[in-house]
Amino acid sequence: MKQSPKYKVLITGAAGFIGFHVAKQLLEENHFCVGIDNLNDYYDKRLKLNRTKILQKNKNYKFFKIDLSKKKQLNILSKYKFDFVINLAAQAGVRYAFKNPDSYIKSNVVGFTNLISFIKDNNIKKLIFASTSSVYGDIKTFPWSESDKINSPLTIYSSSKIFNENLAYSYSKYYNIQCLGLRFFTVYGEFGRPDMSIYNFTKNILENKPITIFNNGNHMRDFTHVDIIKDIFSQLITKQKINNVFKKNNFEVLNIAGGNKIKLLDLVLLIEKYCKKKAKKIFLGMQVGDIEKTQADIRKLKKFKLIKKNIKISTGVKRFVNWYKKYAV
């Protein structure tokens, strides 16, 4: 006898990189998931459509093409009576913000405001939403802690995410909604975004095209494999550890990282190793909005016993290169 689904979960940005992996994990754990996405053309739509096709093979998955910036489009979702909302919809990308600032206001500010209003109006009591390591700006002391003041954003993207955190805090106070913000640190893995460094470098190396390396390869990043994130959502929702997070307050933020910091030039060496090809390198200096180093303090994540696995950067890069060779569009 088949079990009925455990929880009803709304996942925004479900055709995106992290959204796809989280939805797939929760479906495998027998939750009913409704995914929404506007399927924009920030990068090749074929990747988003391929992710969606995989999810739609599960009978407990429903997909709607919805633009969060258009509030009325959300009305069709009211009938589902969700237990959780996971907001992974956003206009991503740091450098893209300087060319298209309006898209960040539309998606990350207007869209998030409409979503949290929908949550309030439909009496949904749990929201988990994506924030970013970019909220720390150019803080010079490491590792970055959730208790650090986030008052020096360097881009519209990071400003929009600070707005999300502040708005969620207000709603947690006034409307008794439990809100958990996850500050992701450089997420990578299979089905990743084409604008991210590991995807871009792998693609160009295999196609014998040059790769552009900013800050002369001296950037240091705290990389987080998407499997870590999948497992954290499993801990929060399926194993209900979200209740431990909200024992004292209705609002919390957590750094999400794997403790795999690596210099950009060393990352390139790893990709070359698994591609079995040398890269043609173009070295450039620091770019506007760039941060030289990121490093997360994940003591709070460990305190709540949410991180159960880690994936070495060498293992993660090898897996990604193998996936790219087989599946990339």
Q: Show the DSSP H helices in the chain as ranges.
A: 17-28, 45-55, 96-99, 101-104, 112-121, 156-174, 197-206, 226-233, 242-245, 264-275, 299-303, 313-327
Decide: helix, strand or coil at residue 167.
helix
**Residues known to be catalytic:** 157
Report the candidate in 307, 298, 310, 291 with the shortest Cα–Cα distance to residue 255: 298
- Find all residues with CB under 8 Å of 55, minimum gap 6, and list them: 14, 20, 23, 24, 27, 33, 35, 61, 63
Give just the sign of the alpha carbon dihedral 274, 275, 281, 283: negative
Checking DSSP bridges between strand 260-263 and strand 220-225, what pairing results, if any? antiparallel
